[in-house]
Structure 1
Amino acid sequence: MSVWYNISGLTEFDKKLRLLLFNEIEKIEISVRCAIVNFGTEMTGNSFWMTDANNLSNPSKFNRSIRLIEDELNHTKEDFINHFKETYTNQYPPSWMPTEILPFGVITNIYSNIKNKKIKKRIAQSFGLQVAPFESWLTVITVTRNSCCHHARVWNMVFSIRATMPIRMSRPWITLPTDPLKVYFDMCIIKYFLDIISPNNDMLDKMNSLFSTFPEIDKAALGFPSGWEIEPLWH
């Protein structure tokens, strides 16, 4: 019986695929967190901009973010947060601190609620994207990350979110017809970010190593089109 039809083989492949994706997404998370807090602080001139309602457009979203920030601050065991609370009287710490501890989905929601469009545009441009596709791709990455964290099956998962495509790309992208709801498309989004964050990244090597370990896996079930290896993105 081939690995493809072997339940334990599929389970092991999916486990390693989730780990691969999670590790690469983690690098993107760190870079996006830094960009949001750094550009936000620089362009508002306010280290506390994230907890200042004047900098966020939707009051309801802002209040929800504040509640989540307060919850994280009240329950965190991070030394740097506790040191701040013991040393200063400010209601909230500077924006870089909650950015360190908030779930990535909350960070992306804060980004979408930034009032100053120039700040949103500058952050998105730092990743070679326009605002709408940047927000959309962050949502796709968040959903993929959560699937990996919660041990959901991802190899043949059909995702519910269709990514918004950029008007133009600053880096190589895919050209072949590709199902945007399969995990391969998510992997392409991850690779696009990585090529900007770390141009010499080894994601392709890791993918090839995984597939060589499980040679019977049908890549088409993951959404890989025929000839994917020669796509500009993977060069």
Structure 2
Amino acid sequence: MTINFPKQYNSPEDLAALLSQRGLVFDDKERVCRYIRNIGYYRLSAYFYPFLEIPKDRQIFKQGSSFDAAIKLYRFDKKLRLFMFNEIEKIEVSLRSTLANVVAKETGNIFWMTDATLFSNPNKFSRTMELIDKEFNNSKEDFILHFKNKYSNAYPPAWMLVEILPMGVVTRIYENIRSNPLKKKIAACYDLPVPVFTSWLTVITLTRNSCCHHARVWNRQYAINPMVARKMKRPWISDAVSPQRTFYEICIIKWFIDIISPHNDMKQHFLSLLEQYPSVDYKAIGIPQDWLNEPLWR
């Protein structure tokens, strides 16, 4: 049996009063209203949740819980998201370049992305071509407009085309490449076997999308269980790190970054972020107590 959604609209003033009534401490009601107005009560409620007494559905705050503490958590989550997105950008740029150029070099075909003979599943290729057409036809990028005006080819070369495609489409293109030796060669650029590389591409794409859409990442629980090789070619992490938590995603990001930029400062940036917010619960992120002793982070 289904029921109608029971809640009605409440003004920021009503919601601030409700928070106070439930035991959340704050001095400046107008400031609370301003946050509710500009961020939204629904989004903020995820950061109120850790401060609720058990059972949580009673919606009563633990004694001494403050609005400021919840906002600190909100700010930490935002900075964590920006930190992750900044690192993912480097991975994405590298992946696009590696994919476009390795296949062009190995096949001798610079237009390989739109060549059906190089892909294993015709239906997947057809759907990918629809997305390529959409991006190519709608692109206002100067280099695409210049190509259309100057050349008679139906599509630009792979290294140009890959720049206008969403990361999800790039991942799909890799997955559908017919030649396994070719897929191995691309995955080997990141010291990974094909199944693990494919799995981690999906993780990177989904994490990137979460960051782009300002989704909560700090205490998120992920449904996807990333694959891992029985014997990893580089220092990795132990079973103490939960694959369902954000820290595991950060470890995957670091694996790529260590290959792309061997003298990177990702670890220092992460440590600095954690030091700024000492009150944040490491367990919610999935960080084990002795994480700095994990082989990947040493």
TM-score under structure 2 length normalisation: 0.77
Is 1:72 aligned to 2:135, yes or no? yes
Distance 1:25 1:2, change over 3 A: farther
Give the conservation status (yes or no) of the 8 Å contact 1:3–1:10: no
- Aligned residue identity for 1:58: N
User: Map of 1:59-208 to 2, 5 A cutoff?
Assistant: 59-208=122-271
Is 1:233 aligned to 2:285, yes or no? no
Offset, 1:117? 0.8
The percentage of aligned residue pairs carrying the same residue is: 53
Give the conservation status (yes or no) of the 8 Å contact 1:51–1:66: yes
Offset, 1:6? 2.1
2:116 to 53, 64, 74: 53
- Aligned residue identity for 1:73: F
Runs of at least 5 residues in structure 2 that lack an aligned partner in the other structure: 1-63
Structure possessing the higher relative contact order (Cα contacts under 8 Å, 6 or more residues apart): 1
Aligned length: 235
- Identify the residue that residue 32 of structure 1 maps to in structure 2: 95
RMSD: 1.4
Give the conservation status (yes or no) of the 8 Å contact 1:14–1:155: yes
- SS of the residue aligned with 1:171? coil
- Identify the residue that residue 82 of structure 2 maps to in structure 1: 19
| Distance in structure 2 (CA, Å) of the matches to 1:189 and 1:100 | 23
1:60-103: CA deviation from partner (whole Å, max 9, x where unpaired): 11111111111111111111111110111111111111101101
TM-score under structure 1 length normalisation: 0.97
- Aligned residue identity for 2:144: I
| Distance in structure 1 (CA, Å) of the matches to 2:281 and 2:68 | 11
- SS of the residue aligned with 1:64? helix
| Distance in structure 2 (CA, Å) of the matches to 1:187 and 1:131 | 20
Offset, 1:225? 1.0
Give the conservation status (yes or no) of the 8 Å contact 1:191–1:203: yes
Larger radius of gyration: 2
Runs of at least 5 residues in structure 1 that lack an aligned partner in the other structure: none
